[in-house]
Amino acid sequence: MQGTTALPKGCKVWLLMSLILAAPAWSAYPERPVRMIVPQAVGASTDNVARIVATELARELGQQVVVDNRPGGALQLGMELTARASRDGYTIGYAPIGSLAIGPHLVSKPQIDALRELAPVGQTITGYMMVLASPKSPFRNMREVIDYAKQNPGKLFNASSSNGSPGHIGFELLKNMTGTQIVHVPYKGGPAAIADLMSGQVQLMMEGLNSASGHVKAGRVRGLAVTGAKRSAVFPDVPTLIESGVTGYEATTWHGVVVPAGTPKEIVALLNTRLNKAVHSPVASERILALGSEPLTGTPEEFWTLVRTDSAKWAEVIRKAGAKID
């Protein structure tokens, strides 16, 4: 065109390369596998759901999502590793309620301030826990447990998948509300705890339905009561703790995904969109429901509001119980 000057070929190449190099680092995300840190052992209730989510999230992202189990420290080790990771979206944390709303209140000197050093991506599930009894025990309902515990303080043992797990603190709330003394025995993961429950080494346990349901259905342990305000659709014949005489008891569980604080908002938004699709995919929804939980997603802000609310609730429960792990 008259009046214009064509750029030399070398200048065109230089300009194109400059535009490519100037593009934001997140624009091509993800270009390689994503690491998902899970703060519980393989086979624990959190791990069971995390692997379902990871598989479907990988489909949505077009990259492998590698589960990295890092149990320990009242579920805090995994969250610390997540917070300290690069802020590029290639390390995400799978966060159950125990890691964000319970564990931080059990340790006297948390290594991180989770609500400041982590950022929300979104919620994945909501669910209940269930009070379980060993098949070697005589207990068939919660009234029998409470009556025996009151008459024999310190002679019953309740297992948990770990210090700081929802089952640990949920049972502390139960003991506080019933005026009973039952000895807490923490394990390194749900499978080991449930194995000892089945064999009669411990008599009781409170565990998430997504870990306990298979054992209850198979008759390997007894389900005595669920922790929600209403009965579980998966176990309609199992009463709630409220129905069992523990007036006002309610404890729900949830999981979500977090990233290190400072991760680009564009990456967080992309992860939230893909996570919501992954959780509500037919395969993930069916498998999550089969485990006894419900798929539930939303915005990062909605997830963080839930975390703050439950953190305040469980902080008070822990204060009253005097529960500490260090």
Task: Tell me if residue 81 falls in helix, strand or coil.
Answer: helix
The CB-side HSE value for 230 (13 A sphere, CA atoms) comes to 2
Are 208 and 271 part of one and the same domain? no
53-80: average pLDDT: 95
Residue 19 forms part of a structural domain: no
pLDDT band at 1 (very low <50, low <70, confident <90, very high): very low
CA-to-CA distance for 186 and 167, rounded, in angstroms?
A: 10
Instruction: Give the CATH number of the domain where residue 299 resides.
Output: 3.40.190.150
Residue 298 forms part of a structural domain: yes
How many domains is the chain built from? Answer: 2
Residue 42 forms part of a structural domain: yes
Q: What is the pLDDT of residue 270?
A: 98
Residue 192 forms part of a structural domain: yes
Are 261 and 119 part of one and the same domain? yes
Domain with 166 in it: 128-226
CA-to-CA distance for 52 and 283, rounded, in angstroms?
A: 9
pLDDT digits (tens, 9 = 90+) for 273-296: 999 999 999 999 999 998 888 999
Q: Is 220 exposed, middle or buried (0-12, 13-18, 19+ CB in 10 A)?
A: middle
What is the pTM for the complete model shown? Answer: 0.80
Residue 240 forms part of a structural domain: no
Q: Is 141 exposed, middle or buried (0-12, 13-18, 19+ CB in 10 A)?
A: middle
Measured over the CA atoms of residue 199, residue 97, residue 122 and residue 276, the dihedral's sign is positive
CA-to-CA distance for 194 and 202, rounded, in angstroms?
A: 9
**Between 325 and 222, residue with greater pLDDT:** 222
Buried b (16+ CB within 10 A) or exposed e, 12-39: eeeeeeeeeeeeeebeebbeeebbbbbb
Q: Give the amino acid at 96.
A: P
Instruction: Give the CATH number of the domain where residue 187 resides.
Output: 3.40.190.10
Q: What is the pLDDT of residue 325?
A: 75
Judge whether 32 and 86 are in contact, CB under 8 Å: no
